[in-house]
Structure 1
Amino acid sequence: MALIPQPPQGVPRAGHMIVCGDDALAERLAAELTTVYRERVTLVVPPTRTNGSPTTRRAAALVSRVQAVMNRAETSAADQDPAAPHVIEAADPDEATLTAAAVRDAAALALVHDDDETNIHAALAARRLNPRLRLVIRLYNRRLGQHLEELLDQAAVLAVPGLDPDALDTSTTVLSDADTAAPALAATAVAGTSKVVQADGLLLRAVERTPPGDSQVADTGMCTLALLSSTTSDPAGAEGSDTSGREAPLLLPDDDAVAAARGRGMVVLEAVAHTAPAPPPRRLTGRAVPVGALFSRRLLWSLAGLAACVLGVAVATWLTTGDHPVHAAYLTVLDVFAIDDPALDGPLARQLLQLIAGLAGLLFLPVLLAAVLEALGTFRTASVLRRPPRGLAGHVVLLGLGKVGTRVLARLTELRIPVVCVEKDPDARGIPLARRLRVPTVIGDVTEEGVLDSAEIRRAHSLLALASNDTTNLEAALYARSVRPDLRVTLRLYDDGFAAVVHRTLRAAHPRAVTRSRSVSTLAAPAFAGAMMGRQVLGAIPVERRVLLFAALNVAGHSQLEGRTIAESFRPGSWRVLALDTAAPGERLPDLAATPAPDRTGRVGGLVWDLHPGYVLRAEDRVVLAATRQGLAELLGRQPRARTRLVGEP
């Protein structure tokens, strides 16, 4: 039975947002909608286990805790403090709970439980209660998510007969927090400076660099997305957790700020391309069986030597006996397998060749047996996890093969980066993937001595600690730094305050090493919030301890964009238009991530990235823009805000 508190001023009102979840993503998403988008939020959480803790006090504590990890610099000074979300405690988001949360009057519902089945059941019930509801569902199974989107959207259209589907303000978006965060985590571990946003086929890649001169930035024609708070000479300090004595990071700077940023690191948009699917791993089935995968090199050389010996005996028999070459080869094969009669009355040369062939036959038998055993062993170990090979160096040690670790492993494999996985649970979600991709994997508790050594941590390039336990990740990082002080380390930590302390401590102890701390929920929450507002968020990249979003947006209805030029629509620190979809409105793809490959002119589908500053944005245009949290919230917000002067305005 759900516990439904009824505070006097906390009853949900029409047009509110509902978030149902049981982990950190739900908390951060509620705070994102409340503090950034200024929305009225109803949060449905499992019942608290703490006796004597009122629900209203729990809600206030939840918002204050999550607000502490958000950057207050992105919040406008004209905004007032957001109201705490209305909290409903319920074991499951069933139909009764959704009704109590006023789902019939809600604008959007986010189902972010860690269990896919729970989210699916709640989505079906919510669509039945409110066909106009905008649904955002967290699912790990991507194929199932595509089918679910089509099913729920079709159900919404059929539930409102006689209404134009385009006029129905409803949509279903299926997202995965692991997919959202995996590209950034993988890039951080590999290079420490690369940042990618990948949604299906669309790839936006950015890099951190310190320009040698201001003119070179302008000559490249690349967009500067951010100015970092520290220079590249201090890689461990480019995290923004301790900005004392240094300038704070600046997102989406204007040309004057870029020109004045001498010696500061920059995040620059480097490339926009379409990624091809990674080739499937080699298997032992197919038209051509890879011989090298079946037999060892030593065995192959042994077989080659014996074949050369038999060939030599056959040639010698042909030359000494004068027989036909085919008959001479036939006699040699019979001698090798000891089938022919002994040449007692034959010439001396024939007798000697027969002895040599017999000796070769004796040597051939154990080699043939070894080949059979090796082939059987290869097929048997094809389903067994590989051990790290001897002499392995320059690889990434990936700790944890849960939901996030599995996606990061797939991403690193696509980039052809050597990986060694460490996992405590032999039945973890990513074990089958590691087995199929033939990735070396160590099964063991990383807190036990020798486990990281088995992963060749002393010769590794970086450590990517993605276990679900912060203490485990920290212990692994500390041990890795004790054996390799210069090792690149990326930690998955939930609490940002704890992450800042860890970052400063590791930087002080190892100033020449690179340390990064990332939160999956922090990277994923902006994409979920943008989807709840009815817009497509392609992805997010971390800029120190902030997040920069890439989103697709229709210009119609946005006074900050419509009727303005590209230069006039640019608001430093808030948003910047990057690309324009030139396809006709009736021919546009619903998902920009599914844009086809470049045409003969080199243009990527209908997207144009090299925009003229004087182009005037029209109502029928659709653009791709980079935005901060607060900037995107202002563009998508449904409530009036204080107006801020745009570039080019008097």
Structure 2
Amino acid sequence: MAVELPRDPPGRSFVARLRRNPDGRPHFVVCGADALVYTVAEELANAGHRIRLTVIVPTKLRGDVPDLTTLRGVRVIRADRLDERTFRSAGLAGAAALALVMPDDVVNLHAALCAQAVEPDLRLVIRMFNTGLGYGVRKLFADCAVLSDAAMAAPAFVAASLGEVAPTHVRLAGRTLYVARRADVNPEHVVCALTAADGAGRVDVLPADPLPAARRAADLVLAEATGRPAGQAVAAQKLVRSRRRRRPFRVMGRAVRAALNRKLGIAVLATLVITVLAGAVLVHADPVEGFWKSLYVTLLTAVGSSDVEMERDGVAQAAQLVLTIAGLALLPLITAAVVEGMVNARLALNSGRTAAQHQDHIVLVGLGSVGTRVLRQLVDLGLDVVAIDRKTDARGAKVAEQLGVPFIVGDAALEETLRSASIATSKALVVLSTDDVTNLQAALNARAVRPDLRVVLRLFDDDFARRVQTAFNIGISRSVSRLAAPAFAAAMLDRDVLATIPVDRHALLVAGVQISAGSPLDGVPLSRADRPQSVRVIGLSASGSEWVDWSPDHRRVLAAGDRILIVARRAGLRALAEQASPPPELPESGEEAS
């Protein structure tokens, strides 16, 4: 899961801001215009926290957004512009956190700037589609988390395509991490242990390493997925060349088939037939001695080099006229056939392996924000993928080319497009385009070809997704907003939660915690942050650096601005966040304690 790592403010901590509210209930504000605003509000309303929640939405909402007034204790404000006036009327001054989940990066950025003018001491959770822009936005604000719903949803689609129960694949800081049995993972790729069973029914969560030998094989670990080695595009090209050497005749036959265009070939053949027949009539009507002279007269007339012969009879003149016209049509047809044949043959030779030869692969439809992230994670896991999108310039088209993934430009709602991707021999179909109709049609057509195919279907409306799953017997129908909402809510309530990993009956959180100046962890060894069965440190990013050290020395002394990457239980994360924050500011003399 590619998630930005927000930096904590140098001043008052988030915990301190929660404590300052006179009524003891922190105020949270959520702004949005699509289904995500409802699911985030629902998560916050049902989280079991004593909070005050205000939701700001446009006067006219999309039809797939449920009625927000049905949520208990939620105040709804309708406004078409997120400016200072709107935020003041919503009571943003004194609020603890603001979530901006509008479906437009620029709108969210403008709203964040306006919100900062109303309440400078505010935690911001901003939805960003453009991850590059997200890095820059994060640096503009003291306490800001930049999240992508595409990044949050991608692991669930990956897990569903593999037939797993829970979304256990997380892309983080350039790596894809996943949950597996220790026995199935190379020891070099283990990041940390997640569970360990003692054989008597007891399961320890986040145990200390190393474990006793008898308990190492069956425990769950968080491991790195490597897939193909670095330089995947180069490796793919080498693989193509090696296959080309092993099967030269098959590759050449594929190139010849690709070079032959059926419609163009019929046009050329028809023109040739007319040319031959007209030439035969001309030679017969205009006596020519010998085969060579007959061929000579026919070809010169066909290319338009014949002169007008008034003394010839009518039959010869008619044949000459037909032959000349046929020749004028034949030359451009031959030129077009040669050019197209060379292009198609070259593409066939360079592809090395067409989609029709794939087996046990995953067909991925839609290379937008979500589809591109799913594509990267599937390739990281070493899986074969065939991608489909309507647009040649889709967001993930270049990514597919770099990873050596076959890319088919076509409408996935058509059965012939799915067949060209070898849907009949695939292991799963993952449909992630932004068109619900196309997604559903592609799923139904794929099931018509192969009734037992695993289908992972993206639909925008969560209620519609559930009904489709029941009515059409499609095993997995998912809503991106429903998948992403818990992460946005967690970022507002539980600090910088980057991912949630269901393990056994527990929910482990992957989070980033920044060390603030003057906090209990400032100036102590990293080992003080690592607590077996509560918090496990998996990485460290030094102050002012984006690079993550995945094997940090636990004797390293922590400094203000350092960021610790952890896997923790909820209580463990809260305790560590308290230790990483400076003590609450004491009221100055003469002031009443809030």
Counterpart selection for 2:135 from 146, 150, 156: 146
Q: What residue number does 1:33 align with? A: 44
Alignment of 1:304-383 (within 5 A): 373=339, 377=343
- Indicate the residue corresponding to 1:404 in structure 2: 370
Query: Relative to 1, partners in 2 of residues 1:120 and 1:484: Cα closer, same or farther, differing over 3 Å?
Result: same
Q: Does 1:176 align with 2:131?
A: no
Choose from 527, 531, 547 the match for 1:594: 547
Tell me how far 1:173 sits from its aligned partner: 2.8
Q: Structure 1: which 5+ residue stretches go unaligned?
A: 1-11, 64-83, 154-169, 229-246, 285-290, 303-368, 597-603, 639-650
One-letter code aligned to 1:521: S
TM-score (normalised: structure 2): 0.58
Are 1:269 and 2:258 counterparts? no
Q: How much has 1:498 moved relative to structure 2? A: 6.3
Residue 195 of structure 1 corresponds to 168
Cα distance, 1:93 vs structure 2: 1.5
In the TM superposition, what are the counterparts of 1:147-296 in structure 2 within 5 Å?
147-150=136-139, 152-153=140-141, 170-190=142-162, 192=164, 195-201=168-174, 203=175, 205-208=177-180, 225=194, 252=205, 268-271=221-224, 279=232
- Give the letter aligned to residue 132 of structure 2: R
2:31–2:55 contact (8 Å) kept in structure 1: yes
Contact preservation (8 Å) 2:38, 2:68: no
Shift of 1:176: 1.6
Residue 102 of structure 2: aligned partner: 113
The amino acid across from 2:137 in the alignment is L
* Cα gap change, 1:99 to 1:546, in 2 (>3 Å): farther
Alignment-derived partner of residue 424 in structure 2 = 458
Q: Among residues 426, 431, 444, which one is paired with 2:411 in the alignment?
A: 444
Note if contact 1:37-1:633 (Cα within 8 Å) is conserved in structure 2.
Answer: no
Match of 1:540 among 500, 504, 509: 500
Shift of residue 463, structure 1, vs aligned partner: 0.8
Instruction: Indicate how the Cα distance of structure 1 residues 500 and 433 shifts in structure 2: closer, same or farther if over 3 A, else same.
Output: same
After superposition, the C-alpha distances for 1:180-224 in whole angstroms (9 at most, x for unaligned) are: 3334433542574783222223x3633355989xxx9xxx99866
8 Å contact from structure 2 (residues 191, 222) kept in 1? yes
Shift of residue 493 of structure 1? 4.6
Checking the alignment, whether the CA contact within 8 Å between 2:391 and 2:409 is kept in structure 1 is: no
Count of residues in Structure 1 that have an aligned counterpart in Structure 2:
454
CA deviations on 1:552-577 (whole Å, 9 max, x unpaired) are: 23689799xx99x9999666xxx543
| Counterpart-to-counterpart distance in 1, 2:506 and 2:467 | 17
> Shift of the alpha carbon at 1:455?
2.6
For 2:374, the aligned partner's letter is V
TM-score with structure 1 setting the length: 0.53
How far is the alpha carbon of 1:540 from its aligned partner?
3.3
Q: Which residue of 1 aligns with 2:567?
A: 626
Question: In the TM superposition, what is the alpha-carbon distance from 1:394 to its structure 2 partner?
Answer: 2.7
CA contact (8 A) 2:412 2:418 kept: no
Q: 1:114 to 1:269 in 2, by over 3 A?
A: same
Give secondary structure in 1 for the equivalent of 2:360.
coil
SS of structure 2 residue aligned to 1:17: strand
Letter in structure 1 aligned against 2:79: A
Identify the residue that residue 577 of structure 1 maps to in structure 2: 536
SS at the partner of 2:433?
Answer: coil
Find the counterpart in structure 1 of residue 298 from structure 2.
none
**What CA distance in whole angstroms lies between the structure 1 residues aligned with 2:70 and 2:361?**
42
- SS at 2:102's partner residue? coil
Local SS of the residue matching 1:491: strand
Report the CA distance between 1:533 and its aligned residue.
4.8
Pick aligned residue for 2:82 from 93, 100, 105: 93
Give the counterpart of 2:511 among 510, 530, 551.
Answer: 551
Give the conservation status (yes or no) of the 8 Å contact 2:459–2:478.
yes
Aligned counterparts of 1:58 and 1:553: Cα–Cα separation in 2: 36
Cα separation, 1, equivalents of 2:493 and 2:149: 17
Q: 1:464: Cα distance to partner?
A: 0.8
What is the SS of the residue equivalent to 2:357?
coil
What corresponds to 1:393 in structure 2?
A: 359
- The answer to whether structure 1 residue 45 and structure 2 residue 57 are counterparts is yes
| CA shift in 2, pair 1:283/1:41, >3 Å | same
Deviation at 1:100, TM superposition (A): 1.8
Match of 2:35 among 24, 36, 42: 24
Report what 2:320 is aligned to: none
Q: Secondary structure, in 3 states, of the residue corresponding to 2:356? A: coil
Please, which moves more after superposition, 626-635 or 181-190? 626-635
Residue 484 of structure 1 and its aligned partner are, at CA, apart by 2.6
Structure-2 change in CA distance of 1:144 and 1:532 (3 Å): same
**2:281 equivalent in structure 1:** none
Counterpart residue type for residue 480 of structure 1: A
> What stretches of structure 2 of length at least 5 have no aligned partner?
1-22, 238-243, 257-334, 580-594
Q: Contact 1:523–1:547 at 8 Å: present in 2 too? A: no
Kindly indicate whether residue 114 of structure 2 is the aligned counterpart of residue 125 of structure 1: yes
**Which string of whole-angstrom CA distances, capped at 9 and with x for unpartnered residues, describes residues 414-434 of structure 1?**
556433333456775445655
SS, match of residue 36 in structure 1 = coil
Query: Could you say if the C-alpha distance between residues 275 and 618 of structure 1 is closer, same or farther in structure 2, counting changes exceeding 3 Å?
Result: farther
Q: In 2, distance between residues paired with 1:58 and 1:388?
A: 48
Measure the CA separation in 1 of the matches of 2:149 and 2:86. Answer: 25
The answer on whether the counterparts of 1:197 and 1:539 sit within 8 Å (CA) in structure 2 is: yes
Judged with a 3 Å threshold, the aligned counterparts in structure 2 of structure 1 residues 227 and 524 are, in CA distance, closer, same or farther, namely: farther
Distance 1:58 1:140 in 2: 25
- C-alpha distance in 2 between matches for 1:421 and 1:275: 18
- SS in structure 2 opposite 1:103? coil
Helix, strand or coil at the partner of 1:390:
helix
- Superposed displacement of residue 117, structure 1: 1.8
Give the equivalent residue in structure 1 for 2:384: 418
RMSD: 5.9
Offset at residue 46 of structure 1 (A)? 1.6
1:392-447 Cα offsets, whole Å, 9 max, x none, are 3332111223321233234445556433333456775445655776732242251x
Identity, in percent, stands at: 36
CA 1:415–1:205: 2 relative to 1, 3 Å: closer
1:59-78 Cα distance to aligned partner (Å, 9 max, x none):
34246xxxxxxxxxxxxxxx
SS in structure 1 of the partner of residue 46 of structure 2? helix
Letter in 2 for 1:173: A
Alignment partner, residue 524 of structure 1: 484
Is the 8 Å Cα contact of residues 45 and 89 (structure 1) preserved in structure 2? Answer: yes
Does the C-alpha gap of structure 1 residues 251 and 272 become closer, same or farther in structure 2, counting only changes over 3 Å?
Answer: farther
SS in 2 for 1:44: strand
What SS class does the counterpart of residue 105 from structure 1 fall into? coil
Structure 1 residues 423, 31: closer, same or farther in 2, change over 3 A?
same
Aligned-residue offset at 1:45: 1.1
**CA distance 1:270–1:568, shift in 2 (3 Å):** closer
